[in-house]
Structure 1
């Protein structure tokens, strides 16, 4: 087995392993700047659906030469707006379904290779980021303003690191002609499967 295939399998296995917890603070609202920062850094990693979405964003964005970094930026901007909406008591109906559904959709785009124009993907990424940000803000509701700021700094930093890091890994392992090859598509399929599991789990909650 080649090094490239080993890395792909290890990467997929890591992402498909169950998370130990969804919140770094064990579900408690952060009360200090350090707790806020750590919560922001850890929340998207410990939430498997959020982590898979970030990897899927990077996988899809890696196929674009000029707009690769634009897509993660729009995702993060959308995430910030979604968090702001939640903290200002703006509800998002069926939020968990939207979070899981957006992951399935982005993963499917990475698998099926549809020729979507960059503006369409940009709108999708911003909207999906909004849904994820709205969900992520739940753990910071009620915290002091400074703690919220530290949480958002951590949230932006870790999401930028994962999305851009995924882009760099794909570009390091694959040439422009092979970035839509089987290993990349398999990784995207794994992310879509994670979303499908969360989507199925979320459906009964709306019944």
Structure 2
């Protein structure tokens, strides 16, 4: 796997930066963006799921390397819009924990799903993550800035997952896949612990 395959994932994260970098936000926008950015990185459940999306995309390779993370971010934004509109989504916390378990299992077992199937799977889980992000938004946060924050943080976590897969593969061509699969299994077990309230 060459370094040029990381470009689509990193490009996804970079594509979200211009609207943030060139805006002149007011106080609510600034608070919203920082709060939004902090939400995904502030919870172990979100970090595990989003990094796993990147690792899963890396394992699939090809177009899935950028399509799978892009699908997650896009559908997560839709889930966030549902939360901001006050639309209830049942079993959000359970859905987040199950996303970690399922993604961890996919990585651990080296599942070779077609890109469309992988996109549908991560998209389903993204609804729960997006809804959780927006439902927990501070009242003082500007909605668009908050959404931009959690979308950028998510894209960066996906890129970290892709980078993890790439680096582990480079450290050892033979043991890299084993290390990645063990990490997926460990993350999946953490998801079980989160689901039962032990973590």
TM-score interval, smaller chain: 0.7 to 0.9
Match of 1:45 among 23, 41, 44: 41
Give the TM-score, by structure 1 length.
0.75
Partner of 2:58: 62
Partner of 1:87: 84
How many residues matched? 170
| SS of 1:181 mapped into structure 2 | helix
For residue 130 of structure 2, the aligned residue among 123, 128, 133 is 133
Q: Note the 1:1-207 alignment, pairs <5 A.
A: 32-63=28-59, 64-140=61-137, 142-143=139-140, 147-174=142-169, 181-201=177-197
CA gap of 1:85–1:114, structure 2 versus 1, over 3 A, is same
**Matches of 1:92 and 1:180 in 2, distance apart?**
38
CA distance in 2, matches of 1:142, 1:41: 16
Query: d(CA) in 2 for partners of 1:152 and 1:110?
Result: 28
CA RMSD of aligned residues (A): 2.2
Give the TM-score taking structure 2 as reference length: 0.78
SS at match of 2:65: coil
- Residues 111 and 180 of structure 1: is their aligned pair in 2 closer, same or farther, counting only changes over 3 Å? farther
**Cα deviation, residue 171, structure 1:** 1.6
Residues 68 and 119 in structure 2, CA contact (< 8 A), matched pair in contact too: yes
Q: For residues 118 and 186 of structure 2, what CA distance do their matches in structure 1 show?
A: 20
**Structure 1 position 143, deviation (Å):** 4.4
Specify the SS of the correspondent of 1:197: helix
| 1:171 and 1:179 in contact (8 A); partners too | no
Query: Unaligned regions of 5+ residues in structure 1, if any?
Result: 1-30, 203-207
* Structure 2 unaligned blocks of 5 or more: 1-26
